[in-house]
Copies of this chain bind each other. A is one copy, B any other.
Amino acid sequence: MMKQTLTISIQDYLKHIYELTDDGKPASTNALAERLKIKPASVTGMVQKLASAKPALVEYQKHQGVTLTKEGERAALEVIRHHRLLEAWLVQTLGYSWDEVHDEAERLEHVISEDFERRIAAAMGHPLRDPHGEPIPTADLKMPLEDSTPLSAFRPNQTGVVQSVKSADDDLLRYLEALGITPGAQFEVKDYSSYDHNLTMKIGKKTSVLGLNITSKIFVEES
């Protein structure tokens, strides 16, 4: 089959900037480029355009990285709402598993109408979280605030409940599911190795040892 020019949508730029700036710091050109799988030079060019659009979608200063303006954030939250509602809905109505939904939602999120968004939100009773436990921005585009901490910060004898898993890696998601680590699961930390930062945890009847690369992607609430 013939291939056609595919270009990264503005929505995608904004969505990734949103995610990269959730630590409060501007997103670097390189980090954005890596996420979008294009070269840094191309990011510079597009970011300059987004900054000089009216209304401006991003704030940008040479060598300082980018942040979203009010407008840009609105647009980002709109796509994120689409994405997370779609994930929830693919799981609830079409039997997708949490490791299968990401790619499908990734493509659908850009083309659904506001009407479609309202319909699926209503059909599901306006869910607050997606299948990975991530909060769904509200219809008026406010992101609910999170009060969970990474599992990596937990130490032996602490117990908690899994709130969300921040990863689009299907292999990891399947692995965690097999271990019983899904949103809502209760656990207790049994051991911690200060040498390699591995955590030993008990979930239900299973005991698992997880490395930092994993525990830093699992967000939990103490209980």
- Interface residues, chain A, CB within 8 Å of chain B? 1-2, 4-5, 7, 9-10, 49-50, 53, 57, 71, 75, 93-96, 100, 103-104, 107-108, 110-113, 115-116, 119-120, 123
Contacts and interface: CB of A to CB of B under 8 A. Distances in A.
Given A100-B115, A107-B112, 14 more contacts: A1-B10, A1-B75, A2-B49, A2-B50, A4-B9, A93-B93, A94-B116, A94-B119, A94-B123, A103-B113, A107-B111, A108-B108, A110-B111, A111-B111
Contacts of A57: 2
A92 to B, nearest CB: 11
A2 B112 contact: no
A70 B175 CA distance: 43
How many copies of this chain does the complex contain?
2
Given A104-B113, A111-B111, A113-B104, A2 B53 contact: yes
Contacts of A123: 93-94
Contact of A104 (B50, B53, B116): B116
Contacts of A110: 111
Contacts of A115: 100, 104
Nearest to A1: B75
A53 B2 CA distance: 6
Contacts of A119: 94-96
A111 B113 contact: no
A100 B115 CA distance: 10
A103 to B, nearest CB: 8
A115 to B, nearest CB: 7
Name the residue in A4, A94, A116, A123 with the highest tally of chain B Cβ atoms < 10 Å from its Cβ: A94
B5 A10 contact: no
In this complex, which of A2, A9, A49, A119 has the most chain B Cβ atoms within 10 angstroms of its Cβ? A2
Contacts of A50: 2
A97 to B, nearest CB: 12
A7 B10 contact: no
A50 B5 CA distance: 14
A157 to B, nearest CB: 44
Contact of A7 (B4, B96, B104, B111): B4
